Amino acid sequence: MSRVYNFSAGPAVLPEEVLKSAADEMLDYNGTGMSVMEMSHRSKAFEEIIETAEADLRELMNIPDNYKVLFLQGGASQQFAMIPMNLMKNKVADYIVTGQWAKKAYQEAAKYGKVNKIASSEDRTFSYIPDCSDLPISEDADYVYICENNTIYGTKYKELPNTKGKTLVADVSSCFLSEPIDVTKYGIVYGGVQKNIGPAGMVIVIIREDLITEDVLPGTPTMLTYKTHADAKSLYNTPPAYGIYICGKVFKWLKNLGGLEKMKEINEAKAKILYDYLDQSSLFKGTVVAKDRSLMNVPFVTGDKELDAKFVAEAKAAGFENLKGHRTVGGMRASIYNAMPTEGVKALVEFMKKFEEENL
């Protein structure tokens, strides 16, 4: 068996320790004689898995008691509809469009009410985060929506927008648990888990209790009503049980590592290795305005499409997988999530130096 350095944007690398532990428990979880995949979601064993996962997540993120944690299905994209269906009391919402994922959320919300694009960075291929200190927030907006880390373009909000008192809703799929956040600043923080935490198909929604009501848009399905899942503690129907179990292991891994402050330190040092190299390279260039750079997704180019393709192919042959940029941007992208070891980034930079020498 040999593992590659996997720079995929998602589904993405998970801690080896977590995968090994799951493998060890595959046939017999904790003396139950069955896999977590095979057990009832109403069983004592699973009850403990989901309760421990929630408690560990609450501890890691310092989630206040007036927020619910929901483990749901449908990935992050399901939330693009679920958010307006549940939150649009006035049928008005403000969206800041900083990439494809924010744009998709904006387009979906437009099915349910009046959505205002109050800022965008599309004019320069989403390579920066717009100034959000004094935006034209709508008086009757039910919420203000952002995508906090833009997976495809490699930008990240370093400061949250001034929402002028309106509820902030944030998609944190690709920066989930990469650093501490102040949950009280948000009405909803949510993310698909396949970037930084677990298997695809599952989304974690952290939602302030006053936003969980029966007063949803007419026709909202039971399954897409937050209250359904909040009341049933994410066990209204069969939850993504195996996903929750893996997420729980990743939460333990993060706690053992020293929590999110420590994770942030590691992520900053790790990203710096790559950015420092890019900043002095004569061949490779980062594509993002320096102050808005993501710690998780690092897009870069040579400026020559053929050379980009050559790099991706040679990198793959050398054991660096999934470095091709998103189809809408081209070039390269190294996603260096929590579970990407620092050695992986160091090895990539060494490989890039060699490629630079050979191709300049």
Ligand X SMILES: *Cc1c(COP(=O)(O)O)cnc(C)c1O
Exposed/middle/buried for 214, CB within 10 Å: 0-12, 13-18, 19+? exposed
User: Which residues sit at the interface with ligand X, rule CB under 6 A?
Assistant: 10, 75-77, 101, 147, 151, 171, 173-174, 192, 195
Of 39 and 188, which CB lies nearer to ligand X in the complex structure?
188
Phi/psi region, residue 152 (left: phi>0; alpha: psi -120 to 50; beta: rest), is: alpha
Helix (H, G, I), strand (E, B) or coil at 208: strand
Q: How far is the CB of 77 from ligand X (least distance, A)?
A: 3
The catalytically annotated residue of 56, 94, 171, 292 is 171
The catalytically annotated residue of 195, 249, 252, 270 is 195
User: In the complex, which residue's CB is closest to ligand X?
Assistant: 75
Sign of CA dihedral 224, 226, 231, 232: positive
Angle at which helices 259-280 and 44-61 cross, to 10°:
60
Q: Is 171 a catalytic residue?
A: yes
> For the CA atoms of the chain, what is the radius of gyration?
21
Rounded Cα gap, residues 72 and 201, in angstroms: 9
Are 93 and 84 in contact by the 8 Å Cβ rule? The answer is: yes
The catalytically annotated residue of 94, 101, 252, 270 is 101
Q: SS3 string of 122-185?
A: HHHCCCCCCCCCCCCCCCCCCCEEEECEECCCCEECCCCCCCCCCCEEEECCCCCCCCCCCHHH
Of 147 and 274, which CB lies nearer to ligand X in the complex structure?
147
Q: How far is the CB of 290 from ligand X (least distance, A)?
A: 21
Q: Is 94 a catalytic residue?
A: no
Of 43 and 77, which CB lies nearer to ligand X in the complex structure?
77
Of 101 and 253, which CB lies nearer to ligand X in the complex structure?
101
205 bridge partner residues:
70, 190
Q: Is 253 a catalytic residue?
A: no
Active site residues: 101, 171, 195
